Amino acid sequence: MNNHYSVIIVGGGQAGLSMSYCLKERGIDHIVFEKNQIGYSWRSKRWDSFCLVTPNWQCKLPGYSYPGADLNGFMKKDEIVQYIEEYAASFNPPVKEGVEVLKVRKDTQGKFEVVTSIGEFTADQVVIASGSYHSPKIPRIAERFPRHIVQLHSSEYKNPQSLFDKAVLVVGTGQSGCQIAEDLHLAGKKVHLCVGSAPRSPRRYRGKDVVDWLDQMGYYDLSISEHPQKDKVRAKANHYVTGRDGGREIDLRQFAVEGMQLHGRLKEISDSKLKFDSDLKQNLDQADAVAESIKKTIDNFIQKNHIQAPTEPAYKPVWEPEEEAAILDCEQADIGTVIWSTGYQSDFGWVEIPVFDGKGYPGHDRGVTDVWGLYFLGLPWLYTWGSGRFSGIARDAVYLADYITAKKKVSYSNAWSVVNEFLIGS
């Protein structure tokens, strides 16, 4: 194995593989270092019933769109892993699995030094494609739970059968929290759910999946510079919805009707007693308002473009919280497990190059940093909504591959100029 490459890619997930495909297509020598194995996060960091929330037709990796027949379906966990593995097999990328990148830095000559678990390498250019979900984020309040209660991050949860035969407290109502709560609820578990401010989305509306409407409206082509919230959208929670059983809405109010216990945000823990904020109604109303605003936007689009589409009755809440129980006794509620669906935090401490802001986020424009030859790929809203997903990664990878190719040509041109000056001078 060489010690120097034109490009080193850090991360062998869908982003790193997409970058490799584009570079290979352009004849640029490169290598991909993957800490674990291809498809690892999908295989090991998702629960058994996990499936995509976006339809299969949106899976468009470079040179390899979703190959199955169920374009409007939602791939399950094992199918996602298979899709990624088959993608890699289709073009045989130069991936080194089981290789951890420990440091990325620049030497005095301007080359990149990449220190790995199998030795040191150099590169003219480097693409960081390791995503941003590096470390599970669990708040310090978790330390106050009684020790006999099992605590898991959402990435560790597998299925209801793996838990004690007791009630479960799920903290967080992003996509993972709501889907895990549903998974437990459908299995007959008593579920307590701490409801946060995450918005919800309709699944289908006026005869189509909402994703189809948003695609038709051009939402997935909207760049972050055109987005009304600009960079702030990167920190927003995803809308909760599910692709389970062919896809459906997640309405927490319906879960409450069926016996799930909803609470506001977890505020305090004292011994075995939990205290919640009195914001449950506010959070439910806010989530509904977002769903209704999406519908209204679709209504306006249909009207403006004179599209024939069936109408639907206005949404009516099926449940309203009564006076909220501010305190829950874990012992009396027989809670045996807490699942923290509180997201991840990024950790780019191993990239020893000054391109980060005060929160540790890399400064970039469509993945191009201010440091010559250093790029990021696969981050949420790197450029569009689909940048961190199967739907938009191809556009970003192609853009960076063209940029890298142009930089490579500039580099060669500069080198030839130096040679010419030497020859003329001699």
Q: Which domain holds residue 20?
A: 4-134+346-422
Q: Are 350 and 102 in contact (CB under 8 A)?
A: yes
Question: What's the confidence (pLDDT) of residue 423?
Answer: 47
Count Cβ atoms within 10 A of the Cβ of residue 351 and give its class: 0-12 exposed, 13-18 middle, 19 or more buried.
Answer: buried
Structure tokens at 59: 């899976």
Residues 335, 359, single domain; the answer is: no
Distance between terminal CA atoms of the chain? 38
AA letter at 216: Q
In a shared domain, residues 9 and 79: yes
pLDDT band at 413 (very low <50, low <70, confident <90, very high): low
1 pLDDT above the threshold of 70: no
Indicate if 84 and 147 belong to the same structural domain: no
Residues 336 and 365 in one domain: no
Q: What one-letter code names the amino acid at 172?
A: G
For residue 411, the model assigns a pLDDT of 60
Q: Which two tokens stand for residue 32?
A: 């991909």
Residues 163 and 310 reside in one and the same domain: yes
CATH number reported for the structural domain that contains residue 361 in this entry: 3.50.50.60
CA distance linking residue 330 with residue 234, whole number of Å: 35
Is 33 in a helix, a strand, or coil? strand
Rounded to 5°, the CA angle 352-357-362 comes to 60
Q: How far is CA 4 from CA 113, 166, 403, in A?
A: 9, 55, 20
Which of 340, 362, 377 terminates a domain? The answer is 340
Picking from 340, 373, 405, the residue at the C-terminal end of a domain is 340
Instruction: State percent of the chain over pLDDT 70.
Output: 95
pLDDT band at 188 (very low <50, low <70, confident <90, very high): very high
CA diameter of the chain: 90
**Smallest Cα–Cα separation from 96: which of 113, 118, 81?**
118
% of the chain at pLDDT higher than 90: 91
Indicate if 35 and 141 belong to the same structural domain: no
- According to DSSP, residue 328 is labeled E
| Sign of the CA dihedral with 336 first, then 337, 338, and 341 last | negative
What pLDDT is attached to residue 416?
44
**Strand residues in 356-408 grouped as ranges (E):** 374-376
Of 61, 65, 88, the closest CA to residue 396 belongs to 61
Which residues contact residue 417 at a Cβ distance below 8 angstroms, ignoring those fewer than 6 apart?
none
Of 13, 54, 140, residue with least CA distance to 391: 54
State whether 391 and 309 are in the same domain.
no
**What average pLDDT does the segment 412-424 reach?**
48
Q: Which of 340, 374, 390 is the last residue of a domain?
A: 340
Number of neighbouring beta carbons within 10 Å of residue 82: 16
pLDDT digits (tens, 9 = 90+) for 119-138: 999 999 999 999 999 999 99
Regarding whether 322 and 221 lie in a shared domain, the answer is yes
pLDDT in tens, 217-269: 999 999 999 999 999 999 888 999 999 999 999 999 999 999 999 999 999 99
Decide if 144 contacts 318 (C-beta within 8 A). Answer: no
> What total number of domains does the chain contain?
2
Report CA-CA distances (Å) from 177 to 4, 193, 237: 44, 8, 11
Please tell me whether residues 126 and 212 are part of one structural domain. Answer: no
Same-domain status, 358 and 328: no
The model's pTM:
0.94
Which DSSP helix (H) or strand (E) runs through 327? Answer: strand 327-329
- Whether residue 163 contacts residue 233, with contact meaning beta carbons closer than 8 Å, is answered with no
* Domain shared by 60 and 204, yes or no: no
Same domain, 97 and 168: no
356-394 CB burial, b ≥16 within 10 A, e <16: eeeeebbebebbbbebebbbbbbbbbbbbbbbbbbbbbb
Asked if 52 and 96 touch (Cβ cutoff 8 Å), the reply is no
- Residue pair 250/178 in contact (Cβ under 8 Å)? The answer is yes
**Mean pLDDT value across residues 69-98:** 98
